[in-house]
Amino acid sequence: MHKILRQTQLSPNVIRLDVEASRIARTRQPGQFVIVRKGEGSERIPLTIADARTDEGSISLVIQAAGKSTRELVALQPGQFIQDMVGPLGRATELIAQGCALCVGGGVGTAVVYPIAQGLHRNGVQVISVIGGRSKPWVIFEPELRRLGEVVVCTDDGSYGRHGFVTDAVKDLLSQRKIDVVYVVGPVPMMRAMAELTRPLKVHTIVSLNPIMVDGTGMCGGCRVSVGNETKFACVDGPEFDGHLVDFDLLSDRLSTYRQIEQQVNARHEEACKIGLNR
Amino acid sequence: MNPRPSLKERIKIERQSMPEQAASDRQRNFKEVNLGFDERLAMLEAQRCIQCKEAKCIAGCPVLVDIPRFINFVAEGNLAAAAHSLLGDNALPAVTGRVCPQETQCEIECVRGRKGAPVAIGYLERFVADWAYQQPNQAPMETAPPTGRKVIVVGSGPAGLTAAGELVRRGHDVTIYEALHKPGGVLVYGIPEFRLPKKIVHDEVERLKQAGVKIECNVVVGKTYTLPELREHFDAVFIANGAGLPVFMNVPGENLKGVYSANEYLTRVNLMEAFAQSDTPVLIGKRVAVLGGGNVAMDAARTAKRLGAEKSMIVYRRGKAEMPARLEEIHHAEQEGIEFEFLVAPVEVVGTPQRWVSGLKCIRMELGEPDASGRRRPVPIKGSEFVIECDVVVVAIGSRANPLLTSTCPELKLNKWGFIEVDDQGMSNLPGIFAGGDIVRGAATVILAMGDGKRAAHAIDDYLKTK
């Protein structure tokens, strides 16, 4: 059982949960994730560890409410519990030891970029973060990233920071500065666009993939992705891979496997809420 | 006590058959197929054992259950004594009574099998174990005084549970680390409810807990803790974390939506209870093709049928006689309407423009010369390609070693396939680190894993005495 210590709304649909998990807080490294299962009958959901505090033995999970399971998680209040949590899983981020790194985060992916930026900063690497959101309220982790270096904020509607997508900002930065590596976490189309942008420039680009998982220990193979035409399991071989080698079409296609079932579940869930079956 | 019939009378008794749920009913539910003996059937069957002086059946058992002894108590109607005897030899009798391939182990050695059918040892084992677990004041496991020695067992599958039981009985302080959220390993994520009800596994686990075994779930050794850390804090470690990574076919289209490894398919249904309105989804195929010929393939095909598939097929590259699955499982699958395509190998998974599985392109095979396993090697027949129409493909062709734990301890000696090398006591090249089950053997059976667990536990006990 893992107690919720704090619940913070970061954007209209993104919640930060600080959860008791002292063992994981001690050993986690940038890029690693946990799998949580809220309670009996709940799904197992992989969530990247956004931050950790060893003093209070907690980790931070940043969750975007999408389906029934994530909505249940973001509804958890301080004092309530997540029944099962396992980790830290996956390989740690391959951090460079010197030079300059671009950390690019889109939406909820910005929370995943944060520990990477932290790790780079600790290594003495110059960190430039480029983060984006639909509009101002959707931009998350800006103050945290500012503590680690320069931050360029982009909004789709121009309500805050630079008007436009993160790709445009990154394009400019790549032409102005010497960038050794780009780390990108965000929606699949954004990671794909970023990989296409850096490919001709031959800038090493690392992306963090979020395929469907069950056990997270390599046992089921549900999270298989194609990297350099080789099948890899994101849970044990990843979740981070060379963005220039990832088959993003396959990733987004496999992510849609249960979309129809989820829509039905969501509709049932909403109907039940409306008529008061959940009360 | 009941008067015993004479030997002559006992020889005349025919083998009692296992009552089972009718195939027409069970192919749409997840309730257990075999219903178990009642006391009358059990006593009758037990009379058939002629109590050989040199009982060959015992040597056939990987955990060396004293079979004639417990069966004799059943024949006498002394079930408490039968239970005491059986539980003393076997940590998980309700499990092995259901899933052991008795026909190739104890029962094949039975003298009664030379003329007629062998004693139904598995059915009797199951009967005694189930009876024992139904007793309200069941005697707790007898344990020796605490030795103060701490042992970690990695994995709560059949090898780990068996080893834990043996070690706790000898007074050691045992903690099991399980990676998933529920203990039982393959017994809960792999073997379906209709073959091994989860309640049975739960009961066996509870019994170990009552005896003092501590079980911590959600701990992945290799991630949460490393093996070197465990060595520092514990006197011995038994690694039984299973085989792990599923093998795929390496054919085009195997990442289409609707292609599952058997591990994923069965885990979604068994562990995550996708069949019972849980939040975990699983694709319900109308036509499901399962690749492979082992018990796991049978489990997947029978599960597909129960989930509502109109057609569930086994696609196997050799012939019926070469299938490694237990006869009983093949027989049950046939009864339930599972179809078999023998001497057929997949060459491609074909899909719709939206990248959903729409079929399995196969090639027919013929049997050639025997290979290293002694089975005749299947050879493709040129130009014989055809497509099996299906919307879900389940790949049940085995697994390879999971490097998650072993990669955190480079000093640990592995064989060329990545499995842990052990001596005949189950000890690795590192003193105090033992291993057993699939992480040593590659995919094998529950009972072989249990045999490893028992043997390693005895070796660990000896090791701790000398340390």
The Cα B103–Cα B120 span in angstroms is: 9
Chain B residues within 8 A of A261 when measuring between CB atoms? 281
What pLDDT score does B161 carry?
Answer: 95
A182 neighbors A100 (Cβ within 8 angstroms): no
Dihedral sign from CA coordinates of B388, B392, B393, B394: negative
Q: Does B364 fall in a domain?
A: yes
Name which of A86, A87, A220 is nearest B246 (Cβ-Cβ).
A220
The percent helix, strand, coil of chain A (3-state, each to 5) is 30, 35, 35
Confidence band for B8, pLDDT divided at 50, 70 and 90: confident
Q: Per-residue confidence at B374, pLDDT binned at 50, 70, 90? A: confident
**Measuring CA to CA, how many Å separate B107 from each of A126, A261, B45, B111, B284?**
70, 47, 13, 9, 38
Cα angle B457-B461-B462, degrees, rounded to a multiple of 5: 120
| Between B303 and A275, residue with greater pLDDT | B303
Who among A87, A214, A261 is closest to B267 (CB)? Answer: A214
User: Strand, helix or coil at B378?
Assistant: strand
Q: B283: which chain A residues are within 8 Å (Cβ-Cβ)?
A: 257-258
pTM value is 0.91
pLDDT beyond 50 at A87: yes
Question: ∠A7-A9-A12 over CA atoms, to 5°?
Answer: 150
User: Could you tell me which residues of chain B have a Cβ less than 8 Å from any Cβ in chain A?
Assistant: 179-181, 189, 217-220, 223-224, 242, 244-246, 248, 254-255, 257-258, 260-261, 263-264, 267-268, 272-273, 277-281, 283, 355, 402-404
Sheet holding B236-239, edge to edge: B214-216, B173-177, B150-154, B236-239, B433-435
| A41, A88, A217: residue with CB nearest B179 | A217
Q: Pick A258's closest partner by Cβ from B223, B261, B281.
A: B281
- Candidates A186, A24, A175; CA nearest to A112 is A186
* B64 and B110 together in one domain: yes
Q: How far is B228 from chain A (nearest CA, A)?
A: 14
Write the CA distances from B335 to A234, B25, B35, integer angstroms.
39, 11, 16
Task: Convert the pLDDT of each residue in A51-71 to its tens digit.
Answer: 999 999 999 999 998 888 899
Task: Determine how β-strand B376-380 pairs with β-strand B357-370.
Answer: antiparallel
Which residue in the block uniquely carries the two structure tokens 């390989």?
A91
Residue B2: other Cβ atoms inside 10 A:
10
What was the pLDDT predicted at B369? Answer: 86
Q: How far apart are CA A7 and CA A16, in angstroms?
A: 6
Which chain A residue lies closest to B266 (C-alpha atoms)? A220
The per-type count for chain B, helices as H runs and strands as E runs, is 19, 14
**ipTM of the complex, rounded to two decimals:** 0.91
Task: Specify the amino acid at residue B379.
Answer: V
Is the separation of the CB atoms in B318 and B378 below 8 Å? yes
For residue B248, list chain A residues with Cβ-Cβ distance below 8 A. 221, 224, 231
Structural tokens at position A167: 């790709």
- CB contacts < 8 A, A to B, total 107
DSSP 8-state symbol, A122: H
CB contact burial B162-178 (16+ within 10 A = b; e otherwise): bbbbbbbbbbbbbbbbb
Q: Which value, in Å, is the radius of gyration of the alpha carbons in chain B?
A: 23
Q: Which residues does A256 contact at the CB level (< 8 Å), separation at least 6?
A: B257
Contacts of A69 in chain B (CB under 8 A): 279
Residues of B in contact with A253 (CB under 8 A): 257, 355
Compute the average pLDDT of residues A88-100.
94
What is the per-residue pLDDT for B233? 92
Question: Which of B134, B169, B191 is the C-terminal boundary of a domain?
Answer: B134
Residue B143 placed within a domain: no
Joined together, the tokens standing for residue B47 give 């009379």
Extents of the domains making up chain A: 2-89, 93-208, 210-279
Residues from chain A that touch B181, judged by Cβ atoms under 8 A, are 37, 44, 83-84, 86
User: What is the CATH T-level fold of the domain A93-208, as seen in this structure?
Assistant: Rossmann fold (3.40.50)
**Amino acid (one-letter) located at B320:** K
Residues B197 and B76 in one domain: no
Q: Is the pLDDT of residue B463 over 80?
A: yes
Answer whether B421's CB lies under 8 Å from B429's CB.
Answer: yes
Q: Give CA–CA dist A122/A155, Å, rounded.
A: 28
Per the structure, the complete domain to which residue B56 belongs is given by 7-134
Q: How far apart are the first and last CA of chain B?
A: 48
- B244/A218 CB distance under 8 A: yes
Confidence of residue A277 (pLDDT cuts 50, 70, 90): low
pLDDT at A68 (0 to 100) = 86
The per-residue pLDDT for range B430-459, each reduced to its tens digit, is 999 999 999 999 878 888 898 899 999 999
Give the span between the Cα atoms of B413 and A161, in whole angstroms.
56
Whole-number Å distance between alpha carbons of B227 and A144: 35
- From CA B94, how far away is CA B78, in angstroms rounded? 18
For residue B462, is pLDDT > 50? yes
Q: What is the pLDDT of residue B99?
A: 86
Return mean pLDDT, chain A. Answer: 92
Instruction: Give the A-side interface with B, CB within 8 Å.
Output: 23-24, 27, 37, 41-44, 68-69, 83-89, 214-222, 224, 226, 231, 233, 236, 250, 253-254, 256-258, 261-262, 265
Q: Which of A2, A213, A215 to mutate to test the interface with B (most CBs of B within 10 A)?
A: A215
Give the DSSP H/E element, type plus range, for residue A44. strand A44-53
Residue B460 pLDDT more than 80? yes
Please give the average per-residue pLDDT across A125-152, as a whole number.
Answer: 94
Provide the 8-state DSSP code for B14. Answer: P
Q: Is there a contact between B179 and A215 if contact means CB atoms under 8 Å apart?
A: yes
Distance CA A49, CA A62 (A): 8
What band does B28 get if pLDDT is binned at 50, 70 and 90?
A: confident
Query: What CATH superfamily classification does A2-89 receive?
Result: Translation factors (2.40.30.10)
Q: A265: which chain B residues are within 8 Å (Cβ-Cβ)?
A: 279, 281
**Averaged pLDDT for residues A17-45:** 94
CA–CA distance, A139 with A141 (Å, rounded to integer): 7
Q: According to DSSP H, which parts of B15-171 are helical?
A: 23-26, 39-47, 56-60, 67-76, 79-89, 93-99, 106-109, 121-134, 158-169
DSSP tag of B225? B
- What per-residue confidence (pLDDT) applies to A137? 93
Min Cα distance A88 → chain B (Å) is 6
How sure is the predictor about B1, in pLDDT bands with cuts at 50, 70 and 90? very low
Tell me, what DSSP letter sits at residue B4? P
What's phi and psi for A27, nearest 5 deg? -105, -10
At which residue do the structure tokens 């027919």 appear? B364
What b/e sequence results for B50-70 when a residue is b if at least 16 CB atoms lie within 10 Å of its CB, and e otherwise? eeeeebebbebbbbebbbbbb
Other residues' Cβ atoms within 10 Å of the Cβ of residue B325: 21
- Residue B367 falls in which region: left (phi positive, over 0), alpha (psi -120 to 50) or beta: beta
pLDDT for residue B2: 52
With CA atoms as reference, report the closest residue to B161 among B257, B103, B93, B227.
B93
What per-residue confidence (pLDDT) applies to B3?
63
pLDDT at A276: 61
Burial of B145 (0-12, 13-18, 19+ CB in 10 A): exposed
Which of B134, B160, B178 represents a domain boundary (last residue)?
Answer: B134
Q: How far apart are CA A45 and CA A34, in angstroms?
A: 8
SS3 A88: strand
pLDDT(B222) > 80:
yes
In degrees and rounded to multiples of 5, residue A226 shows phi and psi of: -110, 120
Number of domains in chain B: 3
Give residue A21's pLDDT.
96
Q: Assess whether the region A2-89 and the region A93-208 belong to the same CATH fold.
A: no
- Say yes or no: B275 and B297 in one domain: yes
Q: Which of B165, B161, B157 is nearest to B271 (CA)?
A: B157
Question: Which CA distances in Å does B126 have to B93, B108, B166?
Answer: 7, 18, 20
CA distance A44 to A215: 7
According to the model, what pLDDT value does residue A279 have? 46
Which of B156, B162, B58 is CA-nearest to residue B111? B58
Identify the band that residue A110 occupies on the pLDDT scale cut at 50, 70 and 90: very high
Q: Residue A37 — pLDDT band, cuts 50, 70, 90?
A: very high
Between helix B67-76 and helix B121-134 the angle, nearest 10°, is: 60
Chain B residues in contact with A256 (beta carbon < 8 A): 257
Bridge-based pairing state of the strands A230-233 and A162-163: unpaired
Sheet with strand A204-208: strands edge to edge: A162-163, A149-155, A126-133, A100-106, A181-185, A204-208, A240-242
Using a CB-CB cut-off of 8 Å, the residues of chain B touching A43 are: 272, 278-280
Mean pLDDT of chain B: 92
CB contact under 8 A, B404 and A258: no
Q: Residue B264: its chain A contacts at CB < 8 A?
A: 214, 220-222
Q: What is the tens place of the pLDDT at every residue in A210-261?
A: 999 999 999 999 999 999 999 999 999 999 999 999 999 999 999 999 988 8
Is the bond preceding residue B183 a cis peptide, omega within 30 degrees?
Answer: no
Question: Are B324 and B300 members of one domain?
Answer: yes
**Domain-embedded: residue B222:** yes
Angle among Cα B344, B348, B353 to the nearest 5 degrees reads 140
Domain of B288, CATH number, reads 3.50.50.60
**For the segment B241-282, what is each residue's pLDDT rounded down to a tens digit?**
997 899 999 899 999 999 999 999 999 999 998 877 788 999
CATH of the domain at B40: 1.10.1060.10
Q: Given the DSSP bridges, would you call strands A149-155 and A126-133 parallel, antiparallel or unpaired?
A: parallel
CA distance A25 to chain B (A): 10
Q: Which burial class, exposed, middle or buried, applies to A122 when counting CB atoms under 10 A from its CB (0-12, 13-18, 19+)? A: exposed
